[in-house]
Each structure stands twice: as structure tokens, then as C-alpha cells.
């Protein structure tokens, strides 16, 4: 919240005061038919600037007091001119601050007073319809300009509010993306470390060389998880990429680190895909391999990437058998629901279910139409 600008409160009151009090004597000199400005006249002229100073905290009462003081000034027969500065500022302020009804009622009442004053009360009453209409038109112009300014400020405030909400929504989506990325990174690598640690413990006595291989895999996996976590957290930095890098160029490294028997096939004309699709493909395959390592270690895995005209199909099939319910949406983990959310977020689909051979994950993600350069 911005701190109040005291000078913005004081400056208009000072300017109005200097104008009204400074020109009060001069106005009476050029209007000899009016009463010369005396102490009472200057006191009435000073009421307006004092109310302008209080316009933010006492808007409607200050408007009423200013209007009444102006009417009294005119009734006393003092010169026209400077006394109208304070009412103009107060009516404008009342509209800007949302006191529309008070401003319009005061303006109508003041216009009626001017008409009555010039018709029946002034020292030399006269009917000057052009004068009265001009005064009313001027008051109407002040209020109209105030309404336009207020509407513009409201539009700008609404734009700022919408922009802030959009910024918060994007920040929430980025935090959700980061949380999902961290989940996938940690789940995959910790599962891999767990499987390899179990293998090392089982082989360390009888087959130390094989245990050494498992321990080397654990070392590499722990290094990789630290690097990927650093990549995700770097999103918070202003000069970092908006999303962590997890693309198809790292797919072979991912497969090699799992220690599983994996074969990969690419069908169709391979072409560049949007980064969001690359990231989703990488994480879907990573989560699928994590599930195999966790629930069906030793199974063979076949990964197929099929580039179609308008979609990229991913199929991860293994020959293992998991315990009942371990790889369903009803299970305790977030792996399959997370994969499905990634696919749906891009307008695609994902199915994951056991079959006669083992367990199969199939995802279909939309792609932009291939350009002639990509064919």
C-alpha cells in the first residue's frame, strides 16, 4: 500500500488559497458596484481553501461547507470571480472520490442559487438567460470531466487488478509446474537409487564386481538428481530459463541410467516439437521407467515414439508383472495421475493399464502441422 502523499493534499489547498485571497481585493477593484472585500469577505474566501485541505477525509461535509460559504460570500455582495475556485475543486474531488450523489445534488442546488440570486437577490436583479445557462453549462462541464477522469481511473485500476491476478495465476501455475518437476525428478532417481542399493546389498558378498556397478549407478543417479534439482530451482532466478530443461535429447541418458533392459524405436519422420511437449514426453517416459524399476525390476521395456502428422504417440510397454493395484490411479502414488495431468494440460490423452504381457502406458500429444522444412 502506498504511503499518503502529503504534498498532494496540501498543494491544491495552497494554490486555491493564494488565488482566492490574492485576487479577492483586485476583483473588488474592477467591480466597483460590489461590496469591497473586508475582513468578513476574506474569512469567507479562506473557508474554501481550508475545506480543500480536508477534502480527502471529509469530502461531503467539506463540499457542503464550501458551497454554503460561497453562497454567503455572494449574498454579502462581494465581488465575483475568485470565490468560485474552491467549489470547482470540491465538486471535482467529490465525484473522483465516489461521492457522486452529493456532488450532483450540490451542483444542482448551487446552480439554482445562482439563478435565484441573479433574478431576485442581486443588488441589480436582472434576467440574463445566457449568463445562467453558461454558469449551469460550466458546472455541468466540471462534473462531466470529473466523471470521465473517474471512469478512466477505474478502468486503469481494473486493468492493474486483472494484471495482478494474472501474474498470481501464472506464479501459481509455475509453482505447480516446479512441484511436479521436483516430484518426477526425485521419484525417478530415488527409486533408481533404491533398486540399485538393493541389488548391491544382494550381490556384494557373492558378486562384488556386479555390486560395484550398482554402486556406480547410485553415485551417478545421486549426482544427476542434484543437477536436475538445481535446474528446477534455477527457474526462480530472473536470468534463468522459465522452465527446466528435460527434452528428448536426454532420453538416451535417462534410459542408460535406469539399469533396465530398454529398447527404443522411433517411427515416422522425426521433427522438432514444442518444448512443452518435449518436457512432457521426457517426464512420462521417466515416470514409466520409474514404475518399472519400482514394481517390476528385471522386466524388459520397449519405448516407441511415433511422429504423426498432428500428434506424437508415446508407448512404454514392459514385460513385468506388478502387484495388484500398484500401478493404478487408486494406488498411493501420484505417478500415473501426474502423467495424465501432463497429457491433458497439452490437450492430449494418456492411458495406463496392465495387459497380457505386462503393463503399458500410451500417451498421445498434439503437435503442430509439420512444415515443408521438417519433412
Residue-level pLDDT, tens digit, the chain, 375 residues? 444 567 777 888 999 999 998 888 788 888 888 888 899 999 999 999 999 999 988 999 999 999 999 999 999 999 888 889 999 999 999 999 999 999 999 999 999 998 888 888 876 655 567 777 888 898 899 999 999 999 999 999 999 999 889 888 887 777 777 777 777 777 777 777 777 777 778 778 777 777 777 787 777 777 777 766 776 666 555 444 444 456 788 888 888 877 788 999 999 888 889 988 998 999 899 889 888 888 887 889 999 999 998 999 999 999 876 554 444 444 445 678 888 988 998 999 999 988 888 899 999 999 987 655 555
**Can you tell me the distance from the alpha carbon of 119 to that of 111, in angstroms, rounded to the nearest whole number?**
12
Q: 179: Cβ–Cβ under 8 A, 6 or more apart, which residues?
A: none
CA dihedral 19, 23, 28, 31 (to 10 degrees): -90
- Predicted pLDDT at 258: 78
Question: At what angle are helices 208-233 and 129-203 packed, to 10 degrees?
Answer: 170
pTM for the model stands at 0.55
- Predicted pLDDT at 32: 84
- Predicted pLDDT at 190: 75
375: three-class secondary structure by DSSP: coil
**The C-alpha cell that represents 211 in the structure block:** 555390486
In the DSSP assignment, the letter for residue 5 is -
- Predicted pLDDT at 110: 93
Exposed/middle/buried for residue 48 (C-beta within 10 Å: 0-12, 13-18, 19+)? buried
- Predicted pLDDT at 240: 46
Exposed/middle/buried for residue 338 (C-beta within 10 Å: 0-12, 13-18, 19+)? middle
Asked if residue 74 lies in contact with residue 34, where contact means CB atoms within 8 angstroms, the answer is no
Amino acid at each position: 500500500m502506498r504511503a499518503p502523499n502529503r504534498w498532494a493534499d496540501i498543494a491544491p489547498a495552497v494554490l486555491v488559497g493564494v488565488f482566492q485571497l490574492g485576487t479577492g481585493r483586485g476583483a473588488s477593484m474592477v467591480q466597483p458596484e460590489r461590496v469591497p472585500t473586508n475582513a468578513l469577505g476574506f474569512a469567507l474566501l479562506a473557508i474554501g481553501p481550508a475545506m480543500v485541505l480536508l477534502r480527502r477525509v471529509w469530502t461531503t461535509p467539506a463540499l457542503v461547507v464550501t458551497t454554503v460559504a460561497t453562497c454567503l460570500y455572494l449574498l454579502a455582495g462581494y465581488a465575483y470571480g475568485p470565490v468560485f475556485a474552491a467549489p470547482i475543486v470540491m465538486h471535482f474531488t467529490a465525484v473522483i472520490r465516489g461521492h457522486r450523489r452529493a456532488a450532483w445534488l450540490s451542483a444542482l442546488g448551487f446552480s439554482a442559487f445562482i439563478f435565484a440570486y441573479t433574478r431576485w437577490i442581486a443588488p441589480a436583479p436582472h434576467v440574463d438567460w445566457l449568463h445562467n445557462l453558461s454558469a449551469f453549462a460550466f458546472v455541468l462541464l466540471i462534473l462531466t470531466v470529473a466523471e470521465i477522469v473517474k471512469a478512466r481511473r477505474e478502468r486503469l485500476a481494473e486493468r492493474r487488478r486483472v494484471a495482478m491476478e494474472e501474474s498470481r495465476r501464472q506464479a501459481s501455475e509455475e509453482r505447480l509446474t516446479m512441484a511436479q518437476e521436483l516430484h518426477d525428478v526425485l521419484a525417478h532417481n530415488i527409486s533408481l537409487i533404491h533398486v540399485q542399493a538393493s541389488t548391491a546389498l544382494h550381490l556384494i558378498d557373492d558378486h562384488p564386481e556386479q555390486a560395484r556397478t550398482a554402486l556406480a549407478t547410485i553415485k551417478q543417479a545421486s549426482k544427476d538428481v542434484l543437477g536436475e534439482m538445481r535446474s528446477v530451482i534455477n527457474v526462480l532466478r530472473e536470468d534463468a530459463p522459465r522452465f527446466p530443461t528435460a527434452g528428448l535429447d536426454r532420453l538416451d541418458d535417462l534410459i542408460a541410467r535406469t539399469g533396465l533392459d530398454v529398447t527404443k524405436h522411433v517411427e515416422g519422420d522425426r521433427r522438432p516439437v514444442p518444448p512443452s511437449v518435449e518436457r512432457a514426453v521426457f517426464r512420462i517416459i521417466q515416470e514409466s521407467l520409474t514404475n518399472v524399476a519400482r514394481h517390476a525390476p528385471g522386466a524388459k521395456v520397449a519405448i516407441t515414439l511415433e511422429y504423426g502428422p498432428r500428434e506424437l504417440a508415446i508407448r512404454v510397454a514392459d514385460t513385468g508383472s506388478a502387484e495388484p493395484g500398484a500401478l493404478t490411479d487408486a494406488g498411493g502414488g501420484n505417478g500415473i495421475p501426474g502423467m495424465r495431468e501432463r497429457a491433458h494440460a497439452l490437450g492430449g490423452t494418456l492411458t495406463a493399464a496392465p495387459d497380457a504381457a505386462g503393463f503399458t502406458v500410451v500417451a498421445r500429444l498434439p503437435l503442430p502441422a509439420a512444415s515443408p522444412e521438417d519433412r
